[in-house]
Amino acid sequence: MKTSPRICNRKKRFATRAAAEEVAARADVTLRAYKCELCHQYHLTSRTKGMKTPSYERGEL
Ligand SMILES: [Zn+2]
């Protein structure tokens, strides 16, 4: 997923995918964690269109 520098700066960053998904799992809305190519950390997005279903939702942990 491509992230613009503006969005990257605005978004909360997570050091690991696990940390981001932990927050996503607790949120009221469906969120996806994705690795940012700019800061190389993880962000959350509520735009799930075209995003891969994370492994924890597919039961592949
Ligand atoms: Zn970023």
Distance CA 34, CA 56 (A): 14
pLDDT value, residue 54: 66
Distance CA 42, CA 60 (A): 20
Report pLDDT digits (tens) over 34-61. 999 999 999 999 876 666 666 666 665 5
Distance 56 CA to ligand 1 centre (A): 22
Distance 25 CA to ligand 1 centre (A): 20
Distance 17 CA to ligand 1 centre (A): 13
Distance 60 CA to ligand 1 centre (A): 26
Q: What is the mean pLDDT of residues 24-36?
A: 93
Distance 45 CA to ligand 1 centre (A): 11
- Is 17's pLDDT higher than 60? yes
